[in-house]
Amino acid sequence: MGEADYTKQILNEIGSINFWQLAIKPGKPFAFGKLKSAWFCGLPGNAVSAIVTFYQLVQPIINHLSAFSQWQRTPYLKARTTSLIKTSPGRLEFQRGIARVNSQAELEVTPMPQQGSHILSSFNQSNCFIVLEQNRGAVNAGELVDIEYFNHLLMGTSKNLSRV
C-alpha cells in the first residue's frame, strides 16, 4: 500500500478491482476483483491480516462461487469478557482471544495481550476471534461480546460444537 506498491495499478491494467480496502482490522488492504474470467482475492501482507481475511472473506467467497451448499457460516457465540478490550471505532475488528467455560458455567473470553497484525504467535495461544462491531468503542470487563471459535472455521461447519 506504499508508494512503491504497484499491485493495484497492475491489477487494474490486466483486470478489474471491485474493491481495494475494507473497514476491517486486521485486514484493511484486501483486494477483490476479476482477471479475465477468473475472480481473485488479494490478501494483506501481514500474516495475521492474511489469516483473518482468508477465514472471514475468502473462504465464504470460494464456497459461494463453487456452490458448496453444505458450507455454513460459523455462528457467533456470546461470551463475557474477563478484562478490558481496547479498540477504536471505525472498523470491524477481529481480536484473538481465549474462550472457556468458567466455574459458573458461563462462556468467558480473555483477549490476547498483543493484537498486532504482525504477531502470529497470538494464534498459537488463542482459540477464537473476539468480534467487535465497527462502531463499538472500548469493552469493559464483564460485558458481552461475540466470539467465533477457530475450530469451526477450520471445519467450515456450525454443527460440531465439541471443542469448547
Tell how far CA 32 is from the center of its chain. Answer: 16
93 and 145 share one domain: yes
Is the pLDDT score of 156 beyond 60?
A: no
Q: How many CB atoms lie within 10 A of CB 157?
A: 13
pTM: 0.82
Q: Which of 11-20, 133-142, 151-160 has the lowest mean pLDDT?
A: 151-160
pLDDT of 159 reads 43
55 and 90 in a single domain? The answer is no
Domain count within the chain? 2
Q: Do residue 59 and residue 94 come from a single domain?
A: no
Most confident of 65-69, 72-76, 109-113: 109-113
Which one, of 17, 22, 57, lies nearest residue 33 by Cα? 17
Of the three residues 20, 37, 65, the one that is the final residue of a domain is 65
Out of 24-38, 68-82, 133-147, pick the least confident: 68-82
* 83 and 128 belong to one structural domain: yes
In terms of residue numbers, what domain contains 40?
A: 7-65
Contacts for 30 with CB less than 8 Å, ≥ 6 apart: 19, 20, 21, 22, 24, 41, 42, 43, 44, 53, 57
Residues in contact with 29: Cβ distance below 8 Å, sequence separation at least 6, in sequence order: 1, 20, 21, 42, 44, 45, 49
Give the position of cell 458461563.
106
- What pLDDT was estimated at residue 62? 87
